[in-house]
Amino acid sequence: MMWRSPASFRWPGHTTGRGSSFNVGLAVLLVVGILGASPCGAAEKGWMVGTEVDLVPFLYDGYYVSLIGGAGKLRGRVVRTELTLPSFVTDDAFRDDDRKVDALILDVYFRPDFEGWWVGPGLERWTGDVTEVSSGLRRGYRTDVLTLGGGYTWRFSEHFYLNPWAAVHVPIGGDRDVQFADNTFEIDPTPEISVKLGIRF
């Protein structure tokens, strides 16, 4: 996964204004997902559950875990991943950008049974630490991010599939930059492309 970021929003239970937009968006996404995966949708094709593994984080000293569930043409994904961003996506003035990502994503398929093309909006939280090369200072960040992606699910057996995909991640709250002694670590909209291996039941 290829990002650049920083942030400081609050999860439910905190009352600061900077986190309110994230919390509202999270609530809306949850409601839409619950309604979309209602018994009405389940009647069409039945429920599915599963998990996916994204290959990129494992290449960069990280991991990726997810839980998937849905019915009809809608499915929800809860994702946790961690990695050290590679140098070619990190500003030359910084190094060792270690990042954790928590995400809630709603995928919308164009045909039932979760095959073929899909699009998926979602919300993410990025939490990380990065080091300024010139000073050696290391500082943390948190940011909330709107993500919009899409891809193609290809089932090659009853339970297994490949899911190549692309997305753009847009910071919408929290830290937009982090000040260091000599440089500023900035958070910009970031594209991403990868492939996931999935299993479903």
The CATH number for 192's domain is: 2.40.160.20
Please report the pLDDT score of residue 46 as a whole number.
Answer: 80
For residue 6, is it within any domain?
no
**pTM score, two decimals?**
0.78
Number of domains in the chain: 1
Strand, helix or coil at 62?
A: coil
For residue 24, is it within any domain?
yes
Query: In whole angstroms, how far apart are CA 107 and each of 74, 146, 151, 199?
Result: 6, 14, 10, 16
For residue 7, is it within any domain?
no
Please report the pLDDT score of residue 18 as a whole number.
Answer: 43
The DSSP H or E segment spanning 175 is none
Look up the domain containing 44 and give its range. Answer: 17-200
For residue 11, is it within any domain?
no
pLDDT digits (tens, 9 = 90+) for 24-71: 455 545 544 544 444 444 444 589 999 999 989 999 999 999 999 999
For residue 132, is it within any domain?
yes
For residue 1, is it within any domain?
no
For residue 133, is it within any domain?
yes
